[in-house]
Structure 1
């Protein structure tokens, strides 16, 4: 069932993005009276799953889910329809339209992608609000388990003041993305400020890690007591706060104390039913209590005095600037990620993934909030990638159109055909590389 849910979210998101992107080309083409021969979701190599001609346009669904397309008459695109291009230009063809109209048609897809992302973020701000912990309320710093972070110079308990000169105001899901892309991080350690220069290949150093760069310090919360446990005096929902007379407010503190008291019986101070009490616990030879630990929800963490969670709700008008700001941050953040990928020194290109990586981003339980969040960032990614000045992408067409507008000279059809072929080969190479990375990671298990 989990596979069905993940696949459903993946296909729904992909289909939505493809249809709206191609609609961004379709609408201005129609407005400028340019003939659109085909409008397809997915590619119809050899045959279609569905097709229906309405007016001059054939609408359909292909069998190869690698994207979609609109075939515009008189345009040199992936169809490489040389026979049509060899005929005299017709008034309804793309090549017969003024350069400014052709430019609008080509920019339509990415424009829709960016508008969609901002609309989603505005809608999410209105529907879900914002939930975060203010950085100023993080009294005891962050938990650092990542070996790459430790190697860079971080320690558990560090408080991050700023990342690349930008003050860190709140702890949320974007923190770790910012850390991976950071060049300099200013921290506060035991009242002393220290600047840490991040390794240029930090992203590559983290490739085998299963933990985030930084996380919230959480209490030692007992979720369940297995039948074989020797500590029957402990109960589910107990929260450890001290061990052997030492503070154990957080999981990392408790683990360190237990490792120093292997094969011993020590005193544990716990909170049970909102009351504090002491009990004796037996520590195993590997420094464990033989219990199942779990995570507390934000409300209970706040009630126990660990963190103050800020839940911010927005009115419809307030959600507009909040969503626009979120969209802007995501757009610039993805731009930084792309810059890292194209910089060989970072080795971030090794982490590039294909369709399997995108599929794995979706959770195996249905959540509209998560679905829309992922769809929004995928829309930004699709828009930015399509703007790259590579022939066969929208950005390649835009590049040649801008040259034509500035110089007044239109590149020859032969030149555009050759450029399209080069771009197509480059795109296939990038596609093979990204999906090859997925296959490699699946084989080696990393």
Structure 2
């Protein structure tokens, strides 16, 4: 069932993005009286799952869910229809249109991608509002779980207040900014200092295979006590929160872990919070520092506030108030993705090791259906698709835009033969990138 939910979200999001992106090309093409021969969701290699000709356009669904396309008459694209290009140009063909019209047609797809992200963020802001944790409301610092981050100089209990001179406003900003930042301003024991991160920090994290990096310090909340647990008879129950082991305060998970290491092999008096009351029960700690319990924080902003761990802020917005917020969120996400992209193409950072393909995209969808999460992921994927398509690779929209701009500036149109060769080179580069990204997925699946 988990697979069905994840794959359904993945395919729905991908289909929506592909259809809208291709509509971005289709609509201006039709507006400029350019013939569109095919409009396809997914690729129809050898055969189609469905196709129907309406007017001059064949609409269809291919069997290979790696993208989609519109085939515009008189355009050198991935179809490499050299036979058509050898004929005399016709008024309805792409190559017969003025450069400015061709530019609008080629930019239509990425324009729709960015506008879709704006609309989604506006809608989410209006419908859901915003729940966030101001950085000043984190009193006891953060949980730095990564040994790589520890080695770099970040420790549990540190508050991260700025990255590369930019002040951190909310907790949601922390992880990404630290991953791609160099100078981290921290507050430790009331004193400010600066930690300089190694250039290959991201590569070290990837190589370490550590699952967590920076998190909030959470309560140690018991979610299950197995019948096989050697602490079953102690009276510990699901929902209990461990506040102390003997005289050692354990308000947070990391402190419980330290206490278990300190008292391993012993039976301790554990103070637990149950139904807002504190009680003391005996707990056995194994020789390797375990309780024999299944636990997770499982805490929501509401429960964390009720337990006086953190105070979140909630804001609601009217529709018109949501518009500038949606635009700003889109701009911030575009900037963030470009920063990540720069890191990927800077070999010294090692960020290329984290590049993923379709498996990586599939993995970001949760195993439960949540529309807020779905739309948030879809908005980011729309931005990602827009930025990727603007790369100056001939097989992508950005490559066509590059040659069109050259034509508009120089007044000279690149020859058809040159465009054919450029398209072939671009297609090879694109295939290489796809193979590299999906190869990384396979490598991680096999060796991680």
TM-score (norm 1): 0.97
Contact 2:345 2:352 in 1 (8 A): yes
Is the CA contact (8 Å cut-off) linking 1:179 and 1:213 kept in structure 2?
A: no
Once the two structures are superposed, what CA deviation does each residue of 1:329-375 show, in whole Å capped at 9, x if it has no partner? 11100000000111111111111111111111111211111111111
- Is it true that 1:270 corresponds to 2:269 in the alignment? no
Query: Residue by residue, what CA displacement relative to the aligned partner does 1:403-433 show, whole Å, maximum 9, x if unpaired?
Result: 1111111111111111111101111111111
Superposed, 1:149-168 pairs within 5 Å as 149-168=149-168
- Once the two structures are TM-superposed, the CA of residue 276 in structure 1 deviates from its matched residue by 2.3
State the partner residue of 1:348. Answer: 351
Within 5 Å, which residues of 2 pair with 1:18-37?
A: 18-37=18-37
Q: Among residues 271, 288, 291, which one is paired with 1:289 in the alignment?
A: 291
Matches within 5 A, 1:29-428: 29-172=29-172, 174-207=173-206, 208-231=208-231, 232-295=234-297, 296-428=299-431
Give CA deviations for 1:165-208 in whole Å, capped at 9, x if unaligned. 21111112x43222211122110011111111122111111114
Q: Distance in 2 between matches of 1:7 and 1:439?
A: 18
108-117 vs 214-223, which moves further: 214-223
- Distance (Å, rounded) in 2 between the aligned partners of 1:236 and 1:2: 25
Cα distance in 1 for residues equivalent to 2:348 and 2:61: 41
Following superposition, the deviation at residue 236 of structure 1 comes to: 2.5
Which deviates the most, 209-218 or 337-346?
Answer: 209-218
Check conservation: 1:146, 1:209, Cα contact below 8 A: no
Range with greater deviation from structure 2 (266-275 or 192-201): 266-275
CA contact (8 A) 1:176 1:212 kept: no
| 1:91-112 residue CA offsets vs partner (Å, 9 max, x unmatched) | 1111111111100000000000
Alignment coverage as a number of residue pairs: 444
Aligned equivalents of 1:182, 1:336: Cα separation in 2:
10
When residues 281 and 45 of structure 1 are mapped into structure 2, their CA distance, relative to the original with a 3 A threshold, is: closer
Distance (Å, rounded) in 2 between the aligned partners of 1:277 and 1:360: 41
Aligned-residue offset at 1:131: 1.4
Where 1:220 maps in the other structure, the secondary structure is: coil
SS at match of 1:206: helix
Q: Which runs of 5+ in 1 are unaligned?
A: none
Deviates more, 1:258-267 or 1:223-232: 223-232
CA apart distance, 1:439: 1.3
How far the C-alpha of 1:230 sits from its partner, in A, is 4.0
Q: Judging changes above 3 Å, is the alpha-carbon distance between structure 1 residues 46 and 195 closer, same or farther for their aligned structure 2 residues?
A: same
In structure 2, what is the equivalent of residue 3 of structure 1? 3
Backbone CA RMSD of aligned residues: 1.4
1:49-100 Cα deviation digits (max 9, x unpaired): 1111111111111111111111111111111111111111111111111111
Q: In structure 1, the residue corresponding to 2:45 is in which secondary structure? A: strand
Q: Which moved more, 1:379-388 or 1:263-272?
A: 263-272
Q: Do 2:241 and 2:274's aligned partners in 1 also have CA atoms closer than 8 Å? A: yes
Q: Secondary structure at the match of 2:291?
A: coil
Q: How far apart are the structure 2 equivalents of 1:213 and 1:283?
A: 27
1:365 is paired with a residue of what secondary structure? Answer: coil
Q: Structure 2: which 5+ runs fail to align?
A: none
- The answer on whether the counterparts of 2:160 and 2:174 sit within 8 Å (CA) in structure 1 is no
Distance in 1 (alpha carbons) for counterparts of 2:435 and 2:285: 52
SS, match of residue 379 in structure 2: helix
SS of the aligned residue for 1:400 comes to helix
Residues 230, 292 of structure 2: 8 Å contact kept? yes
CA gap 1:225/1:383 in 2 versus in 1, 3 angstroms: same
- Contact 1:40 1:68 survives alignment (8 Å): yes
How far, CA to CA, are the matches of 2:306 and 2:220 in structure 1? 15
